[in-house]
């Protein structure tokens, strides 16, 4: 309730900020509002962030779970986060809470669905919206054998009418955006004309945005890892596609490793999505808010982020989550910093031992810079 009252008070004082984002996961804007000069600056994040998808963290199976997303949100206020893929079967017949629960701090957050039955996709999209997700995304990009056997993922590029039917069925039952994440093509069905026909079908069905991994996928002969590296990147196809569909928001994914590369696409596309670049170097997110959204607030500090993460780790451990299920996402937090090797080694070698707890995380943490005062933020879970 306290947070709700704080949000109301904040809306009264800064309505343009609250109304511009339906979630506003933390109340920093109330506690540390931008100066009048920053608010009137044409380059501030209100005027720059004209797209919901300006900068996105890619959905990655077995990696972008709720613990990774909470950690990433502590580094960037503005990055759009995506769940790992959840199949319609898992939601319709399995433990929904296990697959769908998330922390409110994760907003804006999209749910990625894997499936191909329009009625089931619609039911799961409605479920995701009711659970509080801000977007429902259809996976038409994963090339793994397991996904193909379920008739979803990249193999659906061969059935644009079926994907369009899923989009239409989902749009009919939800108000949040319904988006499609796809490849350039599959196997020998990799002409630009086929990609254009696929895009035309999902656009006509009402897709709110298209996220394109700028590589084709080989359904046979390459592993998922090889499919992320072997097929050549063709970002020019995504730009051409945008020219052909100027009103359809488009996001490019694949081969983008830093913010300078990302910025190079943002004058022609609505957004950029990075996956393993973020996971392998999470501090890449530290400059996103300032450099891509014009947010004038100070850059985050690694030690403060870790201090704010501690209450979350404690709460989830109390709920039965093993510490190692969460610390695996933060091993690269101090990459390139003094003490990084000791941090990673201490956690990796000890987190599986009986009795490993939060004291291990504190013990592994490199000494903070002299000018940094690390204070555990016990209110971090209310952000």
Domain boundaries, the chain: 2-33, 51-293, 302-382
Residue among 216, 118, 213 nearest 165 (CA): 118
Q: What is the pTM of this model?
A: 0.84
Give the pLDDT confidence score for residue 149 in this predicted structure: 67
Measured CA to CA, the distance from residue 83 to residue 103 in angstroms comes to 12
Give the pLDDT confidence score for residue 50 in this predicted structure: 55
Per CATH, which fold does 51-293 belong to? TIM Barrel (3.20.20)
Instruction: Select which of 10, 56, 142, 166 is catalytic.
Output: 142
Asked if residue 308 lies in contact with residue 74, where contact means CB atoms within 8 angstroms, the answer is yes
Calculate the alpha carbon distances from 221 to 17, 18, 61, 210 in Å. Answer: 49, 49, 20, 27
Antiparallel, parallel or unpaired: β 55-57 and 86-87: unpaired
Asked if residue 25 lies in contact with residue 258, where contact means CB atoms within 8 angstroms, the answer is no
* Kind plus residue range of the DSSP H or E element containing 135: strand 135-140
The dihedrals phi and psi of 252, each to the nearest 5 degrees, come to -100, 140
Give the pLDDT confidence score for residue 370 in this predicted structure: 66
Q: Is 253 helix (H, G, I), strand (E, B) or coil?
A: strand
* Kind plus residue range of the DSSP H or E element containing 272: strand 271-274
Q: Is 30 a catalytic residue?
A: no
Give the pLDDT confidence score for residue 219 in this predicted structure: 86
Give the pLDDT confidence score for residue 4 in this predicted structure: 29
Residue among 155, 215, 142 nearest 184 (CA): 215
Give the pLDDT confidence score for residue 152 in this predicted structure: 83
Neighbours of 17 (CB within 10 A): 18
Give the pLDDT confidence score for residue 372 in this predicted structure: 53
Give the pLDDT confidence score for residue 211 in this predicted structure: 98
Match domain 302-382 to its CATH number in 3.30.56.10, 3.90.1170.50, 3.20.20.10, 1.20.120.1460. Answer: 1.20.120.1460
**240: which 2 tokens?**
């051409």
Give the pLDDT confidence score for residue 230 in this predicted structure: 86
**87: which 2 tokens?**
């199949």
Give the pLDDT confidence score for residue 292 in this predicted structure: 96
Successive 10-residue mean pLDDT values, the chain, 383 residues? 30 30 34 42 40 96 95 98 97 97 98 97 98 98 75 92 98 98 94 98 98 92 80 96 98 95 96 94 96 94 96 97 97 96 97 95 90 46 37
Measured CA to CA, the distance from residue 277 to residue 292 in angstroms comes to 16
Query: 274 exposed, middle or buried (CB, 10 Å; 0-12, 13-18, 19+)?
Result: buried
Measured CA to CA, the distance from residue 306 to residue 302 in angstroms comes to 6
């Amino acid at each position: 309730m306290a947070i709700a009252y704080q949000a109301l008070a904040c809306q009264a004082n800064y309505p343009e900020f609250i109304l511009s984002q339906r979630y506003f996961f933390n109340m920093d804007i109330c506690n540390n509002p931008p100066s009048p000069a920053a608010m009137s600056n044409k380059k501030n994040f209100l005027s720059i962030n004209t797209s919901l998808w300006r900068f996105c963290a890619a959905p990655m199976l077995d990696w972008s779970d709720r613990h990774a997303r909470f950690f990433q949100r502590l580094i960037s206020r503005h990055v759009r986060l995506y769940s790992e893929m959840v199949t319609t079967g898992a939601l319709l017949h399995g433990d929904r809470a296990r697959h769908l629960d998330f922390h409110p701090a994760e907003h804006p957050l999209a749910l990625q669905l894997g499936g191909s039955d329009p009625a089931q996709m619609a039911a799961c999209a409605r479920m995701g919206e009711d659970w509080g997700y801000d977007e429902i995304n259809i996976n038409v990009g994963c090339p793994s054998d397991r996904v193909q056997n379920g008739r979803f993922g990249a193999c659906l590029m061969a059935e644009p009418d079926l994907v369009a039917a899923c989009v239409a069925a989902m749009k009919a039952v939800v108000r949040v955006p319904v988006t499609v994440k796809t490849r350039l093509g599959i196997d020998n069905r990799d002409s630009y004309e086929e990609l254009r026909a696929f895009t035309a079908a999902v656009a006509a069905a009402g897709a709110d945005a298209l996220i394109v991994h700028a590589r084709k996928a080989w359904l046979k002969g390459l592993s998922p890892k090889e499919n992320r590296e072997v097929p050549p990147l063709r970002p020019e196809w995504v730009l051409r596609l945008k020219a052909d569909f100027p009103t359809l928001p488009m996001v490019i994914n694949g081969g983008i490793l830093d913010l300078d590369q990302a910025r190079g696409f943002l004058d022609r596309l609505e957004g950029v999505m990075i996956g393993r670049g973020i996971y392998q170097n999470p501090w890449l997110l530290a400059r996103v808010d300032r450099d891509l959204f014009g947010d004038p607030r100070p850059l985050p500090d690694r030690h403060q982020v870790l201090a704010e993460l501690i209450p979350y780790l404690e709460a989830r451990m109390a709920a039965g989550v093993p510490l190692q299920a969460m610390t695996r996402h933060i091993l690269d937090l101090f990459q390139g910093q003094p003490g990084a090797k000791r941090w990673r080694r201490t956690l990796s070698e000890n987190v599986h031992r009986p009795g490993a707890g939060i004291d291990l995380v504190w013990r592994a943490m490199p000494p903070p810079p002299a000018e940094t005062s690390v204070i555990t933020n016990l209110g971090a879970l209310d952000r």
